[in-house]
């Protein structure tokens, strides 16, 4: 069983207030590491996680007095392809994950061979999802880094970095798959600072779309969360930054799962990808976010 336990000085908080953080180490697991995506149940007690090597696991988040103190899960198992065969190395770069907690279905986005797949219980077999239009494909290793589904079941995804445009501020295309028609469209355009790359996304219980981004400066990572009101439509949205880590505070944070605790606080659970390297930090991090009204979008 995999387990992550609180370490001394890891920032364990006794009460949830905006900005409070818990950071727990994930044991080095070699080829079973590389956690790249996570989704968390509405009560914050269960999770599904995916690795960038086409593996999936699920388990429990352990809490004491509401504070995250550990996790319990079996080693990740390899995802199956549409014909039941294991995914192959060239196409198993799974990155984003979204779980339907009522049905147990798991949606996953992939880089490399850019696509979405749906995995259904009880055997978690792979099911086809309508292909993304060719003009939406962002290029090699710029496939679909982040994935989130709204309450209507529509899937939203975006690349780690826009395929073109390297000015100080460029634009992420946010793609939406309509759950009724199976048609893809550009739902919105989100501002993109070239120093930051998209790594995760989720819809919060407040109905907002949250985007996790990271930047790498030489030897360390910084991360931030921006919140968007997609009701503004397909225009250019700037979002509101609701959290940012200091440089080097955490590892390479990628996945994002949001839930609301009994006191009404919004919490964000993230995982740090160790890239299968012993010297990089694998972590699970939980922070408490402000729930102020959304600011006007640009």
pLDDT interval class at 14 (50, 70, 90): very low
Nearest to 13 by CA among 1, 23, 2, 25: 23
pLDDT of residue 294: 46
pLDDT digits (tens, 9 = 90+) for 59-93: 999 999 999 999 999 999 999 888 877 666 545 78
Q: Is the pLDDT of residue 207 over 70?
A: yes
pLDDT interval class at 296 (50, 70, 90): very low
Tell me the mean pLDDT in the region 201-208: 96
Q: Is the pLDDT of residue 8 over 50?
A: no
- The two beta strands, 197-203 and 283-289, are unpaired
Rg (CA), the chain: 18
Question: Can you name the CATH fold of 2-289?
Answer: Neuraminidase (2.120.10)
pLDDT of residue 7: 36
Q: Annotate 1-23 with b (16+ C-beta within 10 A) or e (fewer).
A: ebebebeeebbbbeebeeebbbb
pLDDT digits (tens, 9 = 90+) for 101-113: 999 999 999 987 8
pLDDT of residue 106: 98
pLDDT of residue 292: 55
**What gap in Å lies between CA 51 and CA 36, rounded to an integer?**
5
pLDDT interval class at 5 (50, 70, 90): very low
Three-class DSSP category at 166: coil
Q: Is the pLDDT of residue 247 over 50?
A: yes
Whole-structure pTM value = 0.89
Three-class DSSP category at 64: strand
Which secondary structure element, helix H or strand E, spans residue 272, and what is its range?
A: strand 266-272
- The two beta strands, 253-260 and 283-289, are unpaired
**45-49, 102-106, 133-137 — which is least confidently predicted?**
133-137
Q: Say which DSSP state 161 is in.
A: S
Burial label for 242, CB within 10 Å (0-12, 13-18, 19+), is buried
Q: Where are the domains of the chain?
A: 2-289
* Overall size of the chain counted in residues: 298
CB 264 within 8 A of CB 46: no
């Amino acid at each position: 069983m995999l387990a992550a336990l609180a370490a001394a000085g890891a920032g364990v908080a006794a009460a949830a207030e905006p900005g409070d953080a818990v950071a727990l180490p994930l044991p080095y697991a070699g080829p079973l590491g590389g956690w790249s995506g996570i989704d968390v149940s509405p009560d914050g007690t269960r999770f599904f996680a995916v690795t960038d090597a086409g593996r999936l696991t699920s388990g429990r988040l352990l809490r004491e007095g509401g504070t995250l103190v550990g996790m319990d899960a079996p080693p990740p198992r390899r995802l199956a392809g549409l014909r039941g065969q294991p995914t192959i190395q060239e196409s198993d770069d799974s990155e984003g994950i979204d779980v339907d907690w009522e049905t147990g279905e798991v949606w996953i986005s992939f880089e490399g061979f850019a696509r979405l797949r749906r995995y259904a219980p009880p055997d978690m077999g792979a099911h086809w999802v309508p292909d993304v239009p060719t003009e939406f494909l962002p290029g090699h290793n710029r496939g679909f880094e982040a994935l989130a589904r709204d309450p209507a079941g529509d899937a939203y995804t975006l690349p780690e970095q826009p395929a073109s445009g390297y000015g100080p501020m460029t634009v992420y295309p946010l793609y939406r798959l309509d759950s009724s028609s199976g048609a893809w469209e550009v739902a919105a355009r989100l501002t993109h600072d070239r120093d930051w790359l998209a790594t995760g996304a989720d819809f919060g219980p407040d109905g907002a779309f949250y985007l996790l981004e990271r930047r790498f400066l030489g030897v360390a990572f910084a991360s931030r969360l921006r919140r968007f009101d997609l009701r503004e439509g397909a225009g250019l949205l700037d979002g509101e930054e609701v959290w940012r880590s200091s440089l080097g505070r955490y590892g390479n944070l990628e996945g994002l799962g949001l839930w609301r605790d009994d006191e009404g606080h919004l919490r964000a659970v993230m995982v740090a990808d160790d890239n299968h390297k012993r010297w990089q930090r694998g972590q699970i991090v939980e922070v408490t976010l402000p729930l102020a009204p959304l600011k006007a979008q640009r």
